[in-house]
Amino acid sequence: MKGAMGAEDPRGVIDAPVRRELQWLVVRGLVLFLAVAALAACPVVCALEAGMCDALAMAAPVLLFGYGLAVHARRLLLGLVPEEQRAFAWTRAQEVDADDAMLGRLVCSWVPIGLLAALILLVWPHITDANPALACAWVVIGLPPITVAWLFASWTWLDSARDELARAELESDALYRSYWANLCR
């Protein structure tokens, strides 16, 4: 696309990191939800014995803790994003592409809800077991790690989404500054 002066319009190149991150945000959210939903659907779809259902129910918190730890390790390797950038990440994304930002916010808010629904579906047969001792054991021993894993993964998901968006905006800002610094060269 040509600008008024006949030069290439840099807007598409400068905004590309933010648009790309908004798209990846949707993909990452769907993958995280689908991984837990697959664990929850497995006992419903496949006829599994009780021991296998217990293993699947306890695999969910392992998966969620693993996700959270991997994201935090990546964030430590990349370094912290300035708080000012994080504070305005969604506002800047809205300025770049209102529709993709709205979809990104929608996915961000629904991933924790979807994870919670999948975990409830996964644990429900255990806490409603006909044997009251097993049901009580699941409520006392099984629910706390699942609840903590959900809280940790949800917090990590929401926090990392804003971090990654802020990183993309920093990259976009660097492209903008580079464009104007090299315009007359």
Domain residue ranges of the chain, discontinuous segments joined by +: 11-177
**Cβ of 165: how many Cβ atoms within 10 Å?**
28
**Mean pLDDT of the chain, nearest integer:** 86
101: Cβ contacts below 8 Å, ≥ 6 apart: 22, 90, 93, 94
Q: Where are the beta strands (DSSP E) in the chain?
A: none
Question: Is the whole-model pTM more than 0.85?
Answer: no
DSSP state of 185: -
pLDDT band for position 172 (cuts 50, 70, 90):
confident
Torsion over CA: 129, 133, 136, 137 (sign): negative
48-91 residue pLDDT tens: 676 677 788 888 899 999 999 999 999 999 988 889 888 899 99
Which pLDDT tens digit goes with each residue over 8-23? 667 777 888 889 999 9
